[in-house]
A and B are shown apart, each in its own frame.
Chain A
Amino acid sequence: MSTSSEAVETAAPSAAPAREGERGTRLTLRAAVLGRPGAPVLHDVGLDVAPGEILAVVGPSGCGKSTLLRTLAGLLSPLAGAAEQDGRPLTGPSADRALVFQEDALLPWRTLRGNVKLPLAISGVPRPERRARAESWLGRVGLSAQAGQLPHRVSGGQRQRAQLARALADSPRVVLMDEPFGALDAQTRSGMQDLLVEVLRGTGATVVFVTHDVDEALFLGDRVALLSAGRVAAVRDVPRPRDRGALDDPARVTLRRAVLSSLGT
């Protein structure tokens, strides 16, 4: 692990975020120790996620990616240091920071539409408007025809689309994604990545996307944070534009190699 010199911790991203949103919000972790009480997983975490940025977080299984995300969601408190949104400490979960899970987190007794309506019901959107907004989001993720289906009646890819629609339905300013496509096959996965980029466009949301797939991270992230051995090993800018064909671009190949070597694989 000779990567500490590459770390650009807490530095603002040099690449201008593609989707500058005036309603953007900034997430900051400062010298944070993360984990469950008595069981710290990540130490000395410094991260600054700029408004509208997509930060991809990569690392091997069990390196604390989910812990990082749960802390940003407000489900866990930092054991030391600070976790802040726009300079204010995070206190518990909030509808402003939606979380998309890897596993099925849709409520199985609600239809896809019912699941997407849930955040709208929680935030007190009037009943007739709820349905219209849910339908519109389901349309954007290509699930109009399955709106009335129960989650277990549709495919895994469709369930993840529904989760995405549910997370975005109430216009959160932060979207946290915990290996959302981890259980999908390669084809479905790349389709979902394209869909995600498309759906996020114009929302101005700040996104933290956790994955163990380096290529997914390089495709989606404006920057990539590498977790290794309980620390943030490095944060790298990813050259734009976002283009799947650019995989054999020399700069990209070099970056990919550097990322993989930082992760010790």
Chain B
Amino acid sequence: MTPRPLARYALRVASLAAALGLWQLLTGLDVDLWLHFSQFPTVTDVAGAFAERLTGTDYWTDLTDSLTRILTGFALAAVLGVATGVLVARSRLAEDLLGPVLEVIRPIPAIALVPVAILLFPSNEQGIVFITCTAAFFPVLVSTRHAVRALTPAWEEAVRTLGGGRLRILGSVVLPGALPGIFGGLSVGIGVSWICVISAEMISGQYGVGYRTWQDYTVVNYPGVFVGMVTIGVLGWVTSTAVEVLGRRLTRWLPRTSYTPGGRPRTPVPRVAAPVGVRAGSDPENQAEAQHQGHDDTEQEARDEHLV
């Protein structure tokens, strides 16, 4: 049986609640086996600290600062990554010119670019955006490049023989066709962006969730550290869900398999093959179709449906 949506949400909430319960249990009982939970703040400690933070102004400043940084960096990375990926995949000259440089920079962890950012940019703010952008840039670039190279050649040939030029092919074939792959890269990119924006803030930020979390650590305010961590987790979850949802909306044309994990196929309508030439009167789909067609084509249509 496929669980109802409501049941699935309940399950998800229960999973979170169970994790929190376990945390509370281990810390509340001061479990000190091989792992030490006695110094660990309890869920209630953290909740108390959280409530306190929410009423102050600093928390919201941290939040908006971090969000501004990540959204700026990520948006830049999305645009640059897609543009570079398309360019490298479509032009041999671009591949030869940019390829080696990109491949050498790619393995460097973005957070290792902090010294570079400090040297290059006049303000901390720009440095953090730079690091965030670099982090998300490569996953987007690589997936775009792969997606563009894997496009079905017939799509492009079709548009060319319909008179389409380079721009038309870019807009009508390359970008929409590569979109599923691009969104794969964006999903990875937003995750890496969070890691890097938080790390960069810890090193060089003023305000920001990462900065605050590190500050709390230096003054041994452990509940505060956990408030920061929870905030990062929730923000990361929300932003990557937003990317996923947007991606699914824009690629709704993708053929879906009838397989649903752990459940039955979505449409349990029996599709019995009718004998050729016999009007399949009992099949509601064909009836609807027959009504639409309304002329001699109907029979052919019904056959098409069943045989192909």
Could you list which residues of chain A lie within 8 angstroms of chain B, going by C-beta atoms?
73-75, 93-99, 101, 103-110, 118-119, 122-123, 142, 144-145, 150, 152, 155-158, 166-167, 170, 176, 184-185, 187-188, 191
Q: Are B161 and A157 in contact (CB under 8 A)?
A: no
Of the candidates B255, B301, B305, the one having the most CB atoms from chain A within 10 angstroms of its own CB is B301
Q: Contacts A157-B308, A184-B308, A185-B308 given: A93-B292 contact, CB under 8 Å?
A: no
Question: Which residues does chain A contribute within 8 Å of B176, judged by CB atoms?
Answer: 107, 109
Q: Are B305 and A108 in contact (CB under 8 A)?
A: no
Q: Are A74 and B163 in contact (CB under 8 A)?
A: no
Could you list which residues of chain B lie within 8 angstroms of chain A, going by C-beta atoms?
152, 154-155, 157-164, 168, 172-173, 176-177, 179, 251, 253-255, 276, 289, 292-293, 297, 300-301, 303-305, 307-308
Q: How far is the CB of A153 from chain B (nearest CB, A)?
A: 8
Q: Are A93 and B161 in contact (CB under 8 A)?
A: yes
CA distance A126 to B104 in the complex (A): 49
CA distance A152 to B254 in the complex (A): 8
Q: Are A75 and B163 in contact (CB under 8 A)?
A: no
Question: Which residues does chain B contribute within 8 Å of A104, judged by CB atoms?
Answer: 152, 154
Q: Are B308 and A145 in contact (CB under 8 A)?
A: no
Kindly identify which residue among B162, B177, B276, B292 contacts A122, using a CB–CB cutoff of 8 Å. B162
Q: Are A75 and B161 in contact (CB under 8 A)?
A: yes
Question: Which residues does chain A contribute within 8 Å of B168, judged by CB atoms?
Answer: 122
Q: Contacts A145-B289, A187-B303, A188-B303 given: A119-B163 contact, CB under 8 Å?
A: yes
Q: Are A142 and B293 in contact (CB under 8 A)?
A: yes
CA distance A184 to B308 in the complex (A): 7
Q: Are B162 and A105 in contact (CB under 8 A)?
A: no
Q: How far is the CB of B135 from chain A (nearest CB, A)?
A: 30
Question: Which residues does chain A contribute within 8 Å of B305, judged by CB atoms?
Answer: 155
Q: Contacts A75-B157, A109-B176, A142-B297 given: A187-B163 contact, CB under 8 Å?
A: no
Q: How far is the CB of B152 from chain A (nearest CB, A)?
A: 8
Q: Are A166 and B162 in contact (CB under 8 A)?
A: yes
Question: Which residues does chain A contribute within 8 Å of B179, judged by CB atoms?
Answer: 109
Kindly identify which residue among A105, A123, A176 contacts B163, using a CB–CB cutoff of 8 Å. A123
Kindly identify which residue among B157, B293, B297, B300 contacts A105, using a CB–CB cutoff of 8 Å. B157
Q: Are A142 and B162 in contact (CB under 8 A)?
A: no
Q: Contacts A104-B154, A107-B155, A191-B300 given: A145-B292 contact, CB under 8 Å?
A: yes
